[in-house]
Structure 1
């Protein structure tokens, strides 16, 4: 394959992507376009512009965009409608965001006439899949450059040496002990590396950066109400909020009350186990509230089918298959189930716990007269006799046959 003329690089302005930018210029002799997405990571993104300019990128080739609204409304909302959790715990803040960045890289590549895209994900992790499967799904002929799979730099010391050799500034705090590997956006922050590579060691306190320790959370609980319309949260305590403001508020509430810390070992798609810390305060509250409103608005068949499909759906997201036809098929089914998932949930937040205290909906399927211990309603208790005998028929036959053999 011929060398590309113009490359769109997913660029944060940090050590890794700054070295990658320079390496691409030297290795490919190509014009570089940088793309930096504001996903609510809490960093000063203008630093990325300054670093790109310092490395010789033309001003018109520097793209910085605020993608927070799109991240929440078009990516997180669909995933949370599914109650998607990978391997029982992980709310997948990074897997939800990567396909959005990949999509925008492809769109910008088309706009500026670039023939290649590049990213800074390593050859061991999942993010290389999440970026590249998005690239190829949207632009099957695009050339993809993954420097960590091409160059001979083995780690951080090599990056710093390369930066020094090419006058790329390296902050003093980047020259000491290697920092944790972290990824942050509005949905979560993840933390890997250092002592966390031993799954027995208790994390250092500084590894947790977003959520207050439950021990230090307020001694008095916080009670809130979250309102949903067709499966999506739209208001907190009666105040209508746009998606970004709503998630920001949930993050504030969760962080203050010690909610959303996770220490897990999961299975990367590349085949290895990985231990990581994840902080998802707002999403944890959101997940509890959504399941609570579904509990009174979904029929049993709908609810159970969703729960059966959820692990498959979550695995698709985790493995980078956002733009796959099977994910879109499952999404259509999930979205159909949410037509009547409308109502309000009352929650108590207390020292790391989310406690559901009440739920109501104009579409509630909860029938008090049916479940009441008092007589009444359409349910006739003696009907259960036949129901039980029919369900027990095969078990009685099985037991009788086996007893005869014995």
Structure 2
């Protein structure tokens, strides 16, 4: 395709690819505010897809949006001017009417805009409440006598209208809150419940002794049961339901010394949602040792590799696709909500010691030499894109011993596992 002939398009065509993509996305936001039509869908966020859209196509699309909106055209002319004219600064870049509407469309990943000038920073702060990002919130009214501080495990139904939990010291009973959050149902599971998860019509509970039991979400009667008799695993935990309905859980060994062998790691097992028959067994030897945290994003399973300090990604068939590394240390829990991944870490004192640290352990000098990241480990929640980019790091002064999503809030258990408090965070 030849370069577009209009003067505006010609000036855009001379821009470097990254600058053109950034300008196109900003023009799309302004155009959406001015015309009421969300041109960002048509644009498909070019800055994230620069290698798939032809340069000339992007120029043509951006020029077309400029001609559809006077505000967008003014912004484009100002941005393309070698020296921005005063009218463009006052009427566009610092417009008290236009700026709030533009900034209301920005997300955490667009935070660089806040650093442009003090006016843009004020506008970013003023629109922050509308933006996704973890911040304290209230969970809402709970049943009489129900205290989150006594909860040891929690899982939410995909609809966000049902929550199951177990209580500290009573893990043989699963409690269920109905949509009003006022009535509690009880399931006498028998064995100790280690973890559980929901599908649309089932509650799956991983029990001690490598057992899994499914219950109907209509009657909460038992539907199916599985007990491991072939594989040498002690229990299943960290369960999650995939988009194909299969239940995935981490499998851990009966003998802890198994993990000390070369090439041996924990694995992931997938079960049929109706019969609980074992369908897949994968990941063995892929992980450094232990697996902490499972979460599905689309058709891909994300799993925390503790000692590898990374996230492993698998297909629905159990094929290892890639490894993601970031600023976190040893993963502990993974959650997914609306194209964002939430990761908490192991506590710093629970990390695998480096060889030089082991030599100093007896002297008590180890903690004094820890890095700031290690001292903060276990007290942070990382908000990540599916690609592993860090969007936010939420910090607390105490260790995070649990992390759950219920409805539109993230619930973090802070402090000792058996005696901590719960903090609810909105903005997920």
Q: TM-score range by the shorter chain?
A: under 0.3
TM-score (norm 1): 0.25
Normalized per residue, the structure richer in helix is: 1
The structure with the largest strand share of the pair is 2
Q: State the TM-score, normalizing by the size of structure 2.
A: 0.24
Q: Which has the higher contact order (CA 8 A, sep 6+)?
A: 1
